Structure formats: C-alpha cells, structure tokens
Structure 1
Amino acid sequence: MQKVKDQRARSLKPTTIHGFAQCGDFSAFQKLLRGNPSLLNERNPVMAQTPLHVSAGYNSIEIVKFLLDWQGPEKVELEAKNMYGETPLHMAAKNGCNEAAKLLLGHGAVVESKANIADISCLILFCGICLTEWDDSFALAVWHSLRAEDFSTVNTLLEYNADCSAEDNEGMTPLNHLSQGPGNEKLRDLLLRHLAEQRNEELLKLAWAKGMLLDERRRALGLRVGARRPPHMAFLGNPGTGKTMVARLLGKLLHMVGILPTDRVTEVQRTDLVGEFVGHTGPKTRRKIQEAEGGILFIDEAYRLIPMQKSDDKDYGLEALEEIMSVMDSGKIVVIFAGYSEPMSRVISSNEGFCRRVTKFFHFDDFSSMDLAKILHIKMSNQAEDSLLHGFKLHTSCTVEAVAALIERETTVKQRKEMNGGIVDPMLVNARENLDLRTDFECVDPDSLLTITLEDLEAGLRLLTH
C-alpha cells in the first residue's frame, strides 16, 4: 500500500516549468530554467500561458522576481498574452496576488492593457460585473476583491493610476456596478475617494507643473537652469466647485517640487485686506502678504476688490490690489485670484500689469447631480470625530445613482449652479435632523438610531431648496 502511495505522489509531483511555477518550487524552477533557457517564455498547452503568467497567477513571488530579473540573452515577455489575451498582470489581478502585481507594475507592466475576454465562450459574471465588456487588470482586481473581500490589489493598481472611471459597452463604470450589489460599501468608498482625487489631480497635470518637475530633474543631473517665474493664477468658476481645495493641493505640489519653501495657503477675502479709513488698507494688506510669504495667498471673491461702478470716492480695494501686485515679482509668494468668471473681468482689466503677472487661468466647471452624489458619499465615509455626522451612515438604498436622481429632481439648474458642492453639507445636516424627528425616544436599535435614509436626504434637501 505504501509503495502505491509513493508512486501516486511521484506521479502528482510537477515536472514542467509551468508546474514548478504553479506550486512555487523555486529551487526546481531555477535549476530547470538555467539548464534550458529556451523555456523562459515557453507556452503551455491549451491556455498558452508563459511561466510568468502562471507564477503571477499563483503569487509565486520568488519565481516572479527571478523571471523579471532574468539576465539571459532572451528577456521575459512582460506583456505576453495567453489565449484569452490576458497578460501576467491580468492573472495577478484576478487572483488577488498583490505582491506579484506590485513586482510586475514596478517593472513597467501596463495597467490598462485590455484582454480579449469576449472570446471566452462562458461569460464570467459576478455581482453585476461583466468581464466581457469591462476587461482590464483593474476590473479583474475589483472582481477578485468582491469575491474574496480583499482590496489590496485594487489599492495597488490605484497607486499606479488605474482608471477606475473607465466605462463598459453600456456606459457603466466599476462604481456603477458596485452600487448595485450588497456588501460592497468599503470598495465603493475606496473608488469614490480615488475619483475625487482624480478630479483635482487633473487640474495639476499641466505643462508648467511638468516643467517644474523637469527642472528638478535637470538640477539633479547637475545642469544649471534659470528660475521660473512664480505661477500666479486665476481660478474662475461658481462657488462650491472646489477652487479652495485645489489651491490647498497646489500648495503641497509647489512645496514638493521646491518652488515654495512651505505648503501654507493663506485664504483671504476683501474684509481681510481692505480697511475702512485712509491709511488702514496698506498695512492691513501687507500683514496678510507677510503671513502668506513662502506659500500661497488665495484671494477668494477677488472681484470684490474692484467696485462695479466708478465712484468719486476712492475705493480702498484698488489700493489692496496694488499692494498685492507690487510683491508678485518678488518670487516669495504665489497669488491665486478666485471668483465668478464674469465679475473677475473687472479685476483683470483694472491693472495693466495683471495679465503680465497672472498668466494661468483655470475654469472650474459646475458639478453635475452625479458629481454631487459622489461627494456626499465621500463625506459620509470620511467623517472626523468632531463632525456633526460622525457615527452616522447611509442606508443601502442611498446608492450614488439614487442620490443623484434625488438631487436632479429636487433642485433646479440655477440652484445647483449657485451652490454646487455647497449643497452637500447642509443637506446632510438637515437629513440628520429629519432622522431625529422621526425617531422614537424609546428606540434602542443602533441601526435605526444612526442610519440616514433616502427619505431623510429628500427632506434635508427640500428644507434647503424650497
């Protein structure tokens, strides 16, 4: 009997390069490949997978690293495709092999490489996600995370700028599909946060920002290059479109690349700069400039510095603007003027040196109802302890789509244009108050005490807009 067992064990022991890759037998794999280097990109029968496909799909880390570092005359095929068009990164993503995915990405694997999964005769469907229509490595990682409740590979791919807003043939994104399935809150919140960051990062992916980074590279190589002019800017758009938030991110970016010594953003309005009497405005404005030195001076509603109509009386706002203009060539401060697009034209035309100093104009679009719904979800999943909504959660019926439809139905285009993201916070505060009104004092159910429903959100929005 023992002899039969030994024979069976020997018959099950792998003997091929792909078998060693699957079971993670590094010693045997290394010996076989070094003895026959032509096996480096050998395709196995049926699936036409290389050893890198197999080792990545089974998270055989030592073998993956050995293949990626292979120094022979033939190089490992990083983007090799199996019979379904899947690359090694696809294999790692769909099996949740995070360490293998990190190694592949670190060696330059393409995040958005598409697989020809539509050729698979049996469609893979999971929680509403159709991999025949939505088939890159990120989609496969999402599919695995739903099945295994492990988001590490999704996180890794997001760190490498995976596009989580890619649409399938029906115009659906991963987020759309997730919101339809139960138990997906953590993954949905992760994608929502990343989408919000992407919106702001897009504003920073500009030629001048790239130029700053290239200057850092030039200096690191010992090249001598001239200093760039401070990138003074104008942010044009309606309230609530994220101008202040982007200014704060920009402060961190300019500090990171060495343009500014600090990431401080000093936010001011007319009342912080303009005095009530002769001789008050200059010192008041200079104090704010000194406070902002080394960082960004962010002037919100900057058009208020310039009167709508000319008057015989001197308006001290012009004096404040002249003080600011006088230091903009010093290189010690970056100034951002923010406000409505149309009234800002008064500021632009008020001083002949404005357009010479402010050369970068950015237009902030209004948020759509879907954007506002996503912002609401992000806020609810990131409540600080001192927040009025700390400890509260949304009912499962409050999907992004449902909240977007509610906002679209209960607000006018004019209201959304005037408030944008400013709708969200008061809407949530009002919703909590509606929850209080409808909750009985005798209630002891934690879910009932802490769960905001779609009806609460509707009541909160109506209080705000009607």
Structure 2
Amino acid sequence: MNRSHDKWLRSPKPPTIHGYAHSGDLIGFQRLLRDIPSLLNETNPVMAQTPLHVSAGHNRAEIVQFLLDWQGPGRVELEAKNMYGETPLHMAAKNGCSEAARLLLTHSAFVEARAYNGMTPLHLAVWHSLRADEFLTVKVLLEYNADCSAKDNVEGMTPLNHLSQGPGNEKLRELLNWHLEEQRKRRAIEACGETKAKMDELEKELGYIVGLNDLKMQLRKWAKGMLLDERRRALGLHVGTRRPPHMAFLGNPGTGKTMVARILGKLLHMVGILPTDKVTEVQRTDLVGEFVGHTGPKTRKKIQEAEGGILFVDEAYRLIPMQKSDDKDYGLEALEEIMSVMDHGKIVVIFAGYHEPMNRVITSNEGFSRRVTKFFHFNDFNSKELAEILHTKMNNLSKDSLLYGFKLHPSCNIEALAALIERETTEKQRKETNGGLIDTMLVNARENLDLRLSFECIDTEELLTITLVDLEAGLQLVSQ
C-alpha cells in the first residue's frame, strides 16, 4: 500500500448534511445544501431520516427554520416518514424538542400524523414526559388541538392510557384530562351542527315525496335516532350499532316505491348505516334462472352488486308462483338466497309489490317476518296529490329530462290541476297508473305545445310555457 493511499484512508470523512443537522452547525449546513440542493430531502442509511427529521429530533431550531423557509429548488417534505413511519413532528415530540415542534406546527405540520404503529406525536410526547419529568412538548401539541383520544394500533392505547402506566405526573394527567373533556365538548357542538344539516337535507328529500305521511314519520324517527347515536359517540359514549332495517313496500304501480327507496338509500348512507347510497333494482328475471343450478349464482351476483347499499326487489311476489305445479319453479330458491344474507348487516333489502300478491312472499318463508320488520303501505294518489306530484316534477327537472327548461303557466296551480285530473280521468285510471299518469301527461302536453305554436313565434316565454290547455290535451290523450 503506498503512502498517499494510506493517508487517504486515515483522513476524516467530510461532514454530511445529516451530520450538520445533528450538530446544529447552521453555517456548514447552509453551505452544503446550497452547493447540493438535491440533499434537501435526502434520507440517511438504516433510519431513512431526512435532514428535517434529524434537526427536529435534536431541537436544532435554526436549521429547522432554515429548512422550512428554504427558497432553493424543491420543497422540504414536512410529512416525510422514516423507517418507523414517523414524521419530523414525531421526532420532535419523542425527544421533547418543544421549540422544533412549535416551528413545525406553525408551518402546518399534521398534528395527527400516524406512525406505522398508529402512534401520534402526542403519544410520543407523553412517553418522553414519563422519562424527563417535563411536558413542554405536550403543551405545544395541545395548543394545536392534538387529539387526546387517539388510539394506537398496538393495544388501542390513548396518550392518557400510556400516562397511567407511570407513577406521578398528576399535573400532566390533569392537563390531558382537561383537554380531553374540552375536545369532547367541541365535538358535541360540531356534531350538533352536522346533525342539523343532515336533518335539513333529509327534510329536503322528503319534500319530494307526496303523501305517505306515515312513511315520512318513520324515516324521520330512524334518522333522528341514528343521528343521535352519532352525537353520543362524539361525546365518547358507547352505544350499540343499529341493525339494518329490511322492509316491504306494499302498493300499486306509480305510488313512489322506487323513488322512496332511493331517498332511503341516501338517508342510510348519510347516517352511516350503509357505506354507499346505491340502490340496485332487480326483478324476477334478474334473479331466477331457467335451469337447475342457474338461479343461485345469478342471485348471488346481484346480491354482490348491491352490497353496501339497498337491494330493491320490485314485484317480489313474482318469485312465488300463484299455484303449486309439477314443474319446479326456482323463484323460491332466489328468495332463500336473499334471506341468507339479510342477517349479515352488509345490505338492506326492500321487497316491493301489490298488497294482496305480496302475502305469498310473506307466508312462503318462515324467516321473512323475522327479518323484514317494517311494512309500509303506499296508498293510491288522489287528484290533489297527483297535482302536487306534477308541480314537484316541474320544479325539480334534471338536465336530461325531456321537459328541462320548460315551466308551467301561472294558471296551472294545484287547485286547477286537481280539478282537471278529477274531471278528465276515472278513479280506475288513477288507481292503475298513479304517478305514472303525470309523466305521460307532461310528455303529451309538451307535444301539444309544439303543435299549437307557429314557427313565427318569437316570444321566449310562450315557447317554454306549458298551459292548462296543453295539460288538458295531454290528459285526454291518456284517457283515450
């Protein structure tokens, strides 16, 4: 080995960016970083810590400040994670570096950042206080509303739980308990505001439903109960989870069963009973196969599609044949498949159909009445209610509606429309079609508007206004 090579081996290694961050040599740190800006978020071997991790963990406030104010290329990674998933704020907290912690929090470091074991900076700051008999960093974190009830991933321990393992520290225990109670109060106030907003949203949705007062009252009861459970949990109270309410909607076509199911989907999702607001609509043909072994997989596929939301089984009575025959009918197999998942809590099932035929479904399976606990009767609409439905539809037209952009003439008030419907339709027609009557009536009315207008018409109001004459003509077409 020659002398020059031997000298090179004995010469000290030049300081690294992490070495400067550890020692607090601000001038050396600034010079090296300006020469090599790519070192800004360089991770060191083994621990995978950035310069910000190291400087924050040794309370090198000047270097932390320099990194946070860095004007060179790139930006310092405030939430960078080391090999344990700890951020620079974790490092400041676990070593009691209150000054560095405050600087990081002032620059919007995430106070609830989680390490891989689920611990927050407050967990680690409390651990430090047990060793050091001081809790300045805990105070700093609490100033930024660190969550005293956060649980780690190991044993579900909160910062207070960790504190209870050590002797003494009564002042710190009092401080954490005080902040815990204040946070519960704030959450309760926030939950109150959120609850009111959710109830207002529910009332808005219920406003689209004409009639069905008993059903709307039941939906309000459910919503209020489930939202009160939310508030109870926000206050730290432990309450049981409500079971998904399986239902039967009984009534003639056009009475709003599908629309109510969609509103119910929004409600159950809004209050956390269901993870999604989707409503999967199925009929017999979607569930029942033609051959042996075909129905089970077909039904299970639809159940899987509906998971997390509502499975709406329309005309459910068609699953059960009116009379027993020699040929095997597979509808009962589909019903049994649906019944088998109704206790799992991952889906809400609504069976819908006419009043009388639905008795076949109710009596066909002994577990039906145990699982389906709510039965709602959708009565036929009278003339006034149909007039209200027409107004509701015209006031809430979507962009994909054929009538989007059109409006009713002022003469088309509820009373005038109710009288028109009463005069131009029979009770039998209204009972057989219900709300479906209005859709056809409106389409016909628009066609009549087009028919009576001339191409010379330039009055924009007239071009877009449906009159009582148009509605009468539309209704007469339906009657014919």
- With the shorter chain as reference, the TM-score category is 0.5 to 0.7
Map 1:348-367 to 2 at 5 A. Answer: 348-367=362-381
Q: Partners in 1 of 2:352 and 2:299 — Cα distance?
A: 17
* Counterpart position of 1:376: 390
Q: Is the 8 A contact 1:204 1:250 kept in 2?
A: no
Alignment of 1:223-262 (within 5 A): 223-262=237-276
For 1:362 and 1:449, how far apart are their aligned partners in 2? Answer: 42
Shift of 1:215: 3.2
User: 1:173-192 to 2 correspondence within 5 Å?
Assistant: none
* Deviation (angstroms), 1:235: 0.8
Cα distance in 2 for partners of 1:449, 1:409 equals 27
Displacement of 1:394 after TM fit? 1.7
Aligned to 2:458: 444
Deviation, 1:384, is 2.3
Distance 2:206 2:410 in 1: 18
User: Does the Cα contact within 8 Å between 2:212 and 2:379 map onto a contact in 1?
Assistant: no
C-alpha separation between the residues in 2 aligned to 1:334 and 1:450?
42
Shift, 1:208, TM fit: 4.8
Query: 1:435 and 1:378 mapped to 2: Cα distance?
Result: 20
Confirm or deny that 1:385 pairs with 2:399.
yes
- Normalization by structure 2: what TM-score? 0.55
Is 1:428 the counterpart of 2:442? The answer is yes
Asked whether 1:413 is paired with 2:445, we answer no
CA distance in 2, matches of 1:196, 1:307: 32
The TM-score normalised by the length of structure 1 is 0.56
Q: Distance in 1 between matches of 2:206 and 2:462?
A: 26
Q: Provide structure 2 residue ranges, at least 5 long, that are not aligned to the other structure.
A: 1-196
Q: What does the per-residue CA deviation read over 1:180-205, in whole Å, with 9 as the maximum and x for residues that have no partner?
A: xxxxxxxxxx9x99474896772444
- Maintained 8 Å contact 1:232/1:357: yes
From 289, 292, 308, the counterpart of 2:303: 289
| 2:443 alignment partner AA | V
1:380/1:228 CA distance change after superposition, 3 Å:
closer
CA contact (8 A) 2:210 2:388 kept: no
Number of matched residues? Answer: 283
Superposition deviation, residue 365 in structure 1: 1.8
Using the aligned pairs only, state the percent identity. Answer: 77
Matched, 1:268 2:282: yes
Structure 2: distance between partners of 1:283 and 1:323: 9
One-letter amino acid of the counterpart of residue 303, structure 1: Y
Deviations 1:381-402 (A, max 9, x none): 2222222112222222211111
Partner of 1:212: 226
Cα–Cα, structure 1 residues 196 and 282, in superposed 2: closer, same or farther, change >3 Å? closer
Cα contact 2:253–2:432 (8 A) shared by 1: yes
- CA distance in structure 2 between the partners assigned to 1:331 and 1:196 by the alignment: 27
Shift of 1:159: 5.7
Maintained 8 Å contact 2:206/2:216: no
Question: Deviation at 1:207?
Answer: 4.7
- Shifted more, 343-352 versus 259-268: the winner is 259-268
String of CA shifts for 1:101-122, please: whole Å, max 9, x gaps: xxxxxxxxxxxxxxxxxxxxxx
C-alpha distance after superposition, 1:189-242 (max 9, x if no partner) = x9x994748967724446555443343333333333333332111111111111
| Structure 1 unaligned regions, length at least 5 | 1-155, 163-189
**Partners of 1:430 and 1:461 within 8 A in 2:** yes
Rate the CA distance shift 1:258–1:239 in 2: closer, same or farther, 3 A.
same
Answer whether contact 2:210 2:385 (CA < 8 A) is retained. no
